[in-house]
């Protein structure tokens, strides 16, 4: 495909397998900020746009095997989100909280930003756990019913929330909040730069925070840019 600086980051993330890895590496927001053009996103990340275009062009020459979530069944996409992202997020939040307690006990007195980062992770946890629960108990089951009804020509199920657009809007607002927390976490940790005096636990903590950030970016991208628009379209077509 022809890559233009006017293309939105979201569209590039959907069209090019592996592009999210490039965006992640260079700090380009492709989930909550996916509607921005590549040029604007690169400017915000302070990276040369044509350099990123070159990296994306290389992906076309060596495409990575991947599921096309734009065309895969919504039920398959939901199961992928649950099995890969929800499970990982819950496990990592617990693990990282334990690491934070250990690291702050040793270094927190001299590293106030570290203590603030610990509190921020707890706030992120308090935001994400009920968020995922609402998806699992309310939104995702309805989307599965929606797809099943559409596939066999049955009348669409009556939504307890009026229209799927209502929970989608709520989930996207909560995604924005989580995205702001991730940006603040990166700022507090100086981009997850480990100080020279950092112990093994501190290094493990920052590596884990980076991995959590990357996974949440992909997680939010799949919901904001793929699952939610497709669910809304499916309901409107019915």
What is the reported pLDDT for 238?
Answer: 65
DSSP H helical segments within 140-188, as ranges? 140-151, 165-188
pLDDT, tens digit (0-9, with 9 covering 90-100), for 3-54: 999 999 999 998 887 888 899 999 999 988 889 999 999 999 999 999 999 9
What is the reported pLDDT for 63?
Answer: 59
| Whether the predicted pLDDT of 175 surpasses 70 | yes
Confidence of residue 65 (pLDDT cuts 50, 70, 90): low
Mean pLDDT along residues 60-76? 82
CB atoms within 10 A of CB 20: 21
What is the reported pLDDT for 16?
Answer: 85
| Whether the predicted pLDDT of 66 surpasses 80 | no
26's tokens: 């260079």
pLDDT, tens digit (0-9, with 9 covering 90-100), for 118-144: 999 999 999 999 999 999 999 999 999
| Rg (the chain; Cα; Å) | 19
CA distances from 62 to 15, 16, 53, 65, 222 (A): 14, 11, 15, 10, 22
| Cβ partners under 8 Å of residue 146, min gap 6 | 74, 156, 157, 164, 231, 234, 235, 238
pLDDT, tens digit (0-9, with 9 covering 90-100), for 185-219: 999 999 999 888 888 999 999 999 999 999 999 99
Confidence of residue 64 (pLDDT cuts 50, 70, 90): low
8's tokens: 């939105």
| Whether the predicted pLDDT of 145 surpasses 80 | yes
pLDDT, tens digit (0-9, with 9 covering 90-100), for 90-116: 999 999 999 999 999 999 888 899 999
User: Could you tell me the sign of the dihedral formed by the alpha carbons of 171, 90, 101, 217, in that order?
Assistant: negative
DSSP conformation letters of 81-131:
IIIIIIHHHHHHHHHHHHHHHHHHHHHGGG-HHHHHHHHHHHHHHHHHHHH
């Amino acid at each position: 495909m022809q890559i233009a600086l006017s293309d939105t980051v979201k569209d590039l993330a959907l069209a090019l397998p592996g592009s999210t890895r490039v965006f992640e590496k260079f700090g380009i927001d492709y989930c909550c900020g996916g509607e921005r053009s590549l040029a604007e996103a690169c400017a915000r990340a302070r990276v040369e746009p044509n350099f990123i275009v070159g990296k994306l062009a290389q992906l076309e020459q060596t495409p990575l095997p991947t599921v096309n979530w734009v065309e895969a069944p919504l039920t398959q996409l939901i199961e992928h989100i649950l099995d890969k992202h929800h499970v990982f997020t819950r496990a990592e939040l617990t693990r990282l909280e334990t690491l934070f307690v250990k690291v702050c006990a040793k270094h927190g007195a001299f590293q106030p930003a570290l203590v603030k980062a610990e509190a921020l992770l707890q706030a992120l946890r308090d935001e994400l756990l009920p968020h995922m629960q609402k998806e699992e108990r309310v939104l995702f089951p309805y989307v599965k019913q929606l797809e099943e009804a559409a596939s066999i020509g049955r009348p669409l199920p009556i939504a307890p929330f009026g229209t799927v657009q209502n929970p989608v809007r709520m989930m996207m607002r909560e995604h924005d909040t989580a995205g702001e927390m991730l940006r603040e976490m990166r700022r507090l940790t100086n981009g997850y730069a480990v100080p020279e005096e950092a112990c093994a636990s501190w290094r493990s903590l920052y590596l884990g925070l980076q991995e959590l950030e990357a996974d949440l970016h992909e997680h939010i991208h799949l919901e904001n840019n793929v699952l939610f628009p497709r669910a809304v379209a499916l309901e409107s077509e019915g």
